[in-house]
Amino acid sequence: MSRQHESSSGRREPANVPLIGGPGRPGGPGAPGLGGRGPVVKPKDFKGTLKRLWSHIGREKRWLTVVFALIVANAALGLSGPYLIGRAVDAMAPGAGLVDFGVLKLLALALVIVYVADGLLTFLQGWLMAGISQRIVTALRGMLFGKLQKLPLGYFDARPHGEVMSRLSNDIDNVSTTVSQSTLQLMSGSIAIVGSLVMMLVLSPILTLASLITVPLVYLLARTITKRTKVLFKEQQAQLGKLNGHAEETITGIQVVKAFNYERQAVEQFDEVNEKLYEVGLRAQIWSGFLMPIMSVINNIGFAVVAVVGGLLAVRGDITVGVIASFLSYSRQFVRPLNELANIYNILQSGVAGAERVFEVLDEREEPADPPHAVPLAHPRGRVVFENVSFGYREDVPIISGVSFAAEAGSSTALVGPTGAGKTTIVNLLTRFYDVTGGKITIDGRDIRDYTRDSLRRCFGIVLQDTYLFSGTIRENIKYGKENATDEEVRAAAIMANADPFIRRLPQGYDTVLSENGGNLSQGQRQLLAIARVILAQPSILILDEATSSIDTRTELHIQEALLKVMEGRTSFIIAHRLNTIRDADTIMVIDRGQIVEEGRHERLLERKGSYYRMFSNQFKNVQGAAE
């Protein structure tokens, strides 16, 4: 069915999601593709989301325990290095200018062992953490994709496809980065800070106080700069979204751009947005670039203070030169994690924000479960009855009201009327993409809500104006209607749909690989494949939504011939604006403002000279009959 129609209220009716696939457009302003990680987006509920994310991370408790043990061992090795260096310095100046080479050799060997073991443990930590993070995000990604299959149609109608896609890509990637990097850095950094501080206090409380003087300066600097860059990065992301949107629209509509000779204007618009992105990005990068150099200056001042104070203490004989050397190393180990906290915090914020967006989808209300008394719709005859049906996407804005009609099994019913009248809504209710808000719909005498949703939808076949084909072979696309179909059944369906001749003319025949949405086929060929897909599914009820509106006359004849074969013995609902295509329908219903204003066969409706007569006359008031 056409993706959307204007409703009588001026609201766009949500598009129908077909069983045989519907048009989709991944990407968009919020989609990945341009730029890097982008700015940090703060989560709305940091603590709650972090707690929930930890519940998923906690499923890897066993391996996390192993990683933590490795971090502790790694920290112990890291803390022993500066101590051994200090001892080595003292061994080279024991007094009277003598060097204790025996002790020095043992210390050098110990240092080699410590640093080799440290490197191996660091590699092992990263390797294990990579596996942990990938298992977690793989599970989350699977949960998210599975959830999307269970969400009602209204969820997708209310959101851009690119925004939904970004949750599967960008947000999951942010979670992956957070789990793999932030978790490891937070654990190792915390242990390093505490361990280094303890060793510093053991070596010299006075030097420890001297080294801590710069910590408040580092904190104030980081807070001041990150506060400024937060605003700039947010503006940068807004401009990046505009750039993405313009680029995607231009590329998607490149034929229109070229047809209207709009290339120069498109480039000018792109350059304008790109220039704004450059300006705000430059300011953001300059401000963020201030952080590490200034921190390095502050840290170096701190080391200078430690060196001066340590020198004075050494002259007085309170400490040795080796202690100063060890202390400086511990001081660097203490400061380095503090400097990394700003980056870790940004990654953590971004990851938690991504997790929050993922959890928002996971918390969305799914399609209502089948009631306990629901029964499968087995061997449906196809008699459809609407009994005083009403529906509105919002309670205060009804789209259809008081619709009642009966379609006998094997009959054909055409729905005509102005755009937004409610035609697509009627078939959306029939397929239970939405549930009625008043009245009921029955198939074979039973309320459709009493059937299992899966068995109900299996009895429908839908052919849309803009059909959707998936990346893969022609055979795989036809088999989408019946996964276990044999090659003979696939070809029989293609023959019945008049698709076999053009398929066999292709280089690889049924094994021809289609590009995205069958871009390497014509519109008519795609439509014939969609019909073949429906034929293979053997539905009891057929829905045709403008199935030939965008097809040339010659191709339309082939498609009409195929559709007539499909409609034989099946209950059919046909939505059409070209009235010449539905003259032979058993019943024609004129829908206007959500109500049936006329109903009957073609000849009887013309005799009444009502709404249908006026519509028909408008289309055929001249030789061409082109005014739709």
Token digits of residue 431: 């397929």
- Using N-to-C axis directions, what is the helix angle for 263-316 and 215-252, rounded to 10°? 160
**Helix ranges restricted to H, 253-262:** 254-259
How, if at all, do strands 571-575 and 541-545 pair?
A: parallel
How high is the pLDDT of residue 282? 85
Of 112, 76, 107, 113, the closest CA to residue 89 belongs to 107
Token digits of residue 8: 């009588």
Instruction: Note whether 569 and 409 are within 8 A (CB).
Output: no
598: left (phi over 0), alpha (psi -120 to 50) or beta: beta
Of 2, 43, 45, 6, the closest CA to residue 23 belongs to 2
Token digits of residue 104: 């020095």
Q: Per-10-residue mean pLDDT for the chain, 628 residues long?
A: 36 35 34 39 68 80 86 83 77 60 80 88 87 86 86 75 72 79 78 84 85 78 73 70 73 74 85 87 77 76 82 81 81 76 68 80 82 86 92 82 91 89 88 89 92 88 79 87 86 87 89 76 83 86 77 68 79 85 88 90 89 83 42
For residues 426 and 385, give the distance between their C-alpha atoms in angstroms, rounded to a whole number.
12
How, if at all, do strands 587-592 and 595-600 pair?
A: antiparallel
How high is the pLDDT of residue 388? 93
Instruction: Note whether 430 and 441 are within 8 A (CB).
Output: yes
Task: Output the CA torsion 342→346→351→357 (10° steps).
Answer: 140
For residues 607 and 400, give the distance between their C-alpha atoms in angstroms, rounded to a whole number.
27
